[in-house]
Amino acid sequence: MLVLGVLAPAAVTASGPRLPGAAGYAACAAAGPYWPTQTLALGFGAAWIACKEEGRLVRLVPPRRGRSIRLGGGEVIAVVAGLGAIWTLDGGGTVTRIDPSTQRVGPRFALGAARPYNLWVGAESLWSVDDATGEVLRIDVSRRKVYSQDSGWRRPLGHRLRGYERVDREPP
Amino acid sequence: MNHRDRRLTRLETRTGLTTTLATLPGDAPERLAALDGSLWITGRGTDLLRVDPQTGGVLEVVEIGASGIDVVAGAGALWLPVRNVAADRRGFPTMSALKRVSPGGAVTTRATAKGRIDVHGLAADRAGIWLADNTGGRLYRLRP
């Protein structure tokens, strides 16, 4: 699915809140609940802002106007750039890939987390946390599989991390 | 870093080994950045902590105001939107000021918010320090 829209001009007027010394640009006012909160990613020559309550992204290259990218899922709580793409996480635990060149949305897959909390990129993987269990999740995006530490990084999903004990197995 | 029990855990991405290093001070350490060989950690009810990544030991506590909302490394320094006491009590990400902290721990106020600015996203690149306020619907860029 690919849905684009054009927002108002990026430059912000002098009214309203200001951060002196900083340039301000129109993005989206859709904060939703305060936590988790990781609504900004930089990458591929643009800023990507997650509009949490509206289930969409804004791609912004100041001072040009932003473009809206509708994701079609739930409330988007996190966005990161890396591994050749933009990635979002919604409140239902769905991860969605966005092509940074075409802004094409998808594919998407489920984390299996009861309370997904943010998204990070590192060591050639995506990472997330289930805030309900403290479980660390590693996502192999090429295989579209999610591994938990409790399973020795080999079984997908649903295996609760038992504290933070040592695990002596190879990651995927 | 678990913001509920404040445990700092090291996870080796190559082997999958994890080691609990320490229990951090503060109410809810939530955000961290790496700069100059140290981890820098802040969060609700938490000052800026400089932490040894090998041991988890707190090497320095940097006074930044009530508490930090987030922290990012950029242009050779740390950048922290910080709360005032009232916002800290409510737990909101409402910024009173943006602080710059040198690797040596020197703190300067880089900008003071005029009106309500909530920080839901923070990032840095060569173009500057970026803050996303999803309450007010604005993206701010500050050149270091």
Contact B18 A23 (CB under 8 A): no
Q: List all residues of chain A from 21 to 50 with a beta carbon under 8 Å from chain B.
A: 21-32, 34-35, 37-42, 47, 49-50
Residues of chain A contacting B92 with CB distance shorter than 8 Å: 34
- Spell out the per-residue pLDDT of chain B, length 144, in tens: 888 899 999 988 877 788 999 999 988 899 999 999 999 999 988 899 999 999 999 999 999 988 899 999 999 999 999 998 887 777 789 999 999 999 999 999 999 999 999 999 999 999 999 999 999 999 999 999
Residues B99 and B80 sit within 8 Å (Cβ to Cβ):
yes
Contact B120 A51 (CB under 8 A): no
Cα A30 from Cα A75, distance rounded (Å): 10
pLDDT in tens, A149-163: 766 666 554 333 232
B90: its two tokens: 């409510």
Residues of chain A contacting B98 with CB distance shorter than 8 Å: 19
* Domains contained in chain A, CATH given: 36-151 (2.130.10.10)
Residue of B nearest to A30 (CA): B134
Strand B46-51 and strand B38-44: the pairing is: antiparallel
- Closest Cα of chain B to A16: distance in Å? 7
Residues B74 and B119 sit within 8 Å (Cβ to Cβ):
no
ipTM of the complex: 0.94
pLDDT of residue B26: 87
Using the predicted structure, report yes or no on whether residue A172 has a pLDDT greater than 80.
Answer: no
B101-105 long-range contacts, CB within 8 A, separation 24+:
B101/B40, B101/B48, B101/B62, B101/B64, B101/B77, B102/B77, B102/B78, B103/B35, B103/B36, B103/B38, B103/B76, B103/B77, B103/B78, B105/B50, B105/B60, B105/B62
Residues A172 and A147 sit within 8 Å (Cβ to Cβ):
yes
pLDDT of residue A170: 31
Whole-number mean pLDDT of chain A? 80
A163: its two tokens: 């504290």
Which of A115-119, A137-141, B103-107 shows the lowest mean pLDDT across its residues? A137-141
pLDDT of residue A145: 76
Q: pLDDT higher for A170 or B84?
A: B84
Using the predicted structure, report yes or no on whether residue A48 has a pLDDT greater than 60.
Answer: yes
pLDDT in tens, A86-100: 999 999 888 999 999
pLDDT of residue A134: 81
pLDDT of residue A151: 62
The string over A102-136, giving b where at least 16 C-beta atoms fall within 10 Å of a residue's C-beta and e elsewhere, is: ebebeebbebbbeebbbbebeeebbbbbbbebbbb
B7-142 belongs to CATH 2.120.10.30: yes
Residues of chain B contacting A28 with CB distance shorter than 8 Å: 134, 137
Cα A167 from Cα B3, distance rounded (Å): 22
